[in-house]
Amino acid sequence: MAKTTWDRILQSQGFGSRKWCRELIADGEVSSNGEPVRDYRAGADTDGLEFTVFGETWRYREHVYLALNKPPGFECSRKPSHHPGVLTLLPEQFGWRDVQPVGRLDHDTTGLLLLSDDGAFIHAQSSPRRHVPKLYLATTHAPADDALVARLLEGVQLHDEPAPLAATHCRAVESHRIEIVLEQGKYHQVKRMLAAAGNHCVALQRTAIGALRLDALGLEEGEWRYLEQDDLALLARETAEAPPGSFSATADVSQ
């Protein structure tokens, strides 16, 4: 495999402009295999490459796929207006390499949020045609009774939608709590569906996307981790609650 110069490698991994990366190298801040990188032109094979910048070790990744356990009070938009953005919870390098949330959670919604800098992956995961099932735990103001569950499963009409929207799966798990699976990803969908069904959502957590479950990721609120091949394979599988569907992983994560 052809070697890539060190300034390009560091830039691709989010360490700043090529000029800045050359300065990091000249200042002796970059090493690989225990040796300082002295000449950015020498380059390296990126396959399996590990390197250290300011004493912290990184693995070269062509793209990054991340899971964040989103805390409340953070916005998913690229230009947050009222609350800090979710990118502030991640290392600065990810912002530089244009990592973005896959879809959005409201600022007060917590739980599983995927992020990536792979446009094809973001598109595939958020495409309405793929019907990726997302599992939410919603705390309700009024009791979560059988009638509420039945209404959400039958479908409720939202103002700007041409047809009623129905949950793929829904059940009450506590007196004021439901588990609900949606495949559409419309704006404020859980909250609006609960309102249309005559209740009110007081707290919302996303607990799974496809078969990737937040509780299996071992993340405290505010923590993130890389998604590896096994995790990404789970995104291609339906949740136990969802009916058979036709979505498949499209991300090429061979690195």
Which residues here bind ligand URA, judged by CB under 6 A? 105-106, 109, 188-191, 204
Give me the catalytic one of 27, 47, 98, 106.
106
Closest distance of CB 235 from ligand URA, Å: 17
Among candidate residues 27, 9, 180, 206, the one with its CA nearest the CA of residue 111: 206
**112/124 with CB nearer ligand URA:** 112
**53/89 with CB nearer ligand URA:** 89
Closest distance of CB 194 from ligand URA, Å: 8
CB atoms near residue 130 (< 10 Å): 19
Helices (H) and strands (E) in the chain, counts: 8, 13
Reply yes or no on whether 146 is catalytic. Answer: no
Among candidate residues 236, 239, 69, the one with its CA nearest the CA of residue 171: 239
**149/253 with CB nearer ligand URA:** 149
Closest distance of CB 204 from ligand URA, Å: 6
**38/200 with CB nearer ligand URA:** 200
Separation between Cα atoms, residue 241 and residue 225, nearest integer Å: 25
Q: Which helix (H) or strand (E) holds 112?
A: strand 110-116
Residue 227 and residue 61 in contact, taking contact as beta carbons nearer than 8 Å: no
Q: Which helix (H) or strand (E) holds 22?
A: helix 18-26
Measuring CA to CA, how many Å separate 40 from each of 57, 65, 199?
18, 27, 61
Torsion of CA 69, 56, 65, 242, to 10 degrees: -40
Closest distance of CB 106 from ligand URA, Å: 4
**22/70 with CB nearer ligand URA:** 70
Closest distance of CB 183 from ligand URA, Å: 12
Q: Which residues are catalytic?
A: 106
